[in-house]
Amino acid sequence: MQTIDRHVIGPDDGETVQLFRLGVRFLVDGEATRGRFSLVEHPLPPRALGAPPHTHAHEDEYSFVLEGRIGVQIGDDVIEARPGELVLKPRGIQHAFWNAGDEPARVLEIISPAGFENYFRELAPLLAAPDENAGALGEVVGRYGLEIDLAGIPAFAARHGLDLA
């Protein structure tokens, strides 16, 4: 975990990982906020899936769109959010997000309470060889209290015109 010992986090600061096409840049860890929240940035290329339909048991997420157009499904509602808009994704309600446009997108994601940012850290190396790490992937997903609809990803991507390659 990277510790930032100054008061400004620059545009090139922060550890980064890649989860397929979703980027994750760690800006503020829960350690720095005494577990109250964490903040990550998600760069996302055009027509890319950010996260498939999933439900959190322990945390709420707040997505602030910096660039591009983000599609979001929350329960049965499907919306598009543009720069300057904040999307609330409460725990216990299935949600997903994706880049709904033909330009790159960037989203700031506030996670409250903190801790879930470490899911991204743990998941990234396992996704490098998902067939070899299927058991470990399931263990990480379960430990973070997630329910994910993996089988529905191809149909979800087709419905929203997403590129999974």
- Structure-token pair, residue 82: 């543009």
CA distance 35 to 46: 33
Kindly give, in sequence order, each residue whose CB lies less than 8 Å from that of residue 150, ignoring residues fewer than 6 positions away: 52
What does the pLDDT read at residue 165?
Answer: 82
Report the pLDDT averaged over residues 28-55: 96
For the segment 82-99, the average pLDDT, to the nearest whole number, is 98
Domain locations in the chain as residue ranges = 16-159
Q: The whole model's pTM is what?
A: 0.90
CATH code for the part of the protein at 16-159? 2.60.120.10
What is the pLDDT confidence band of residue 143, given thresholds at 50, 70 and 90? very high
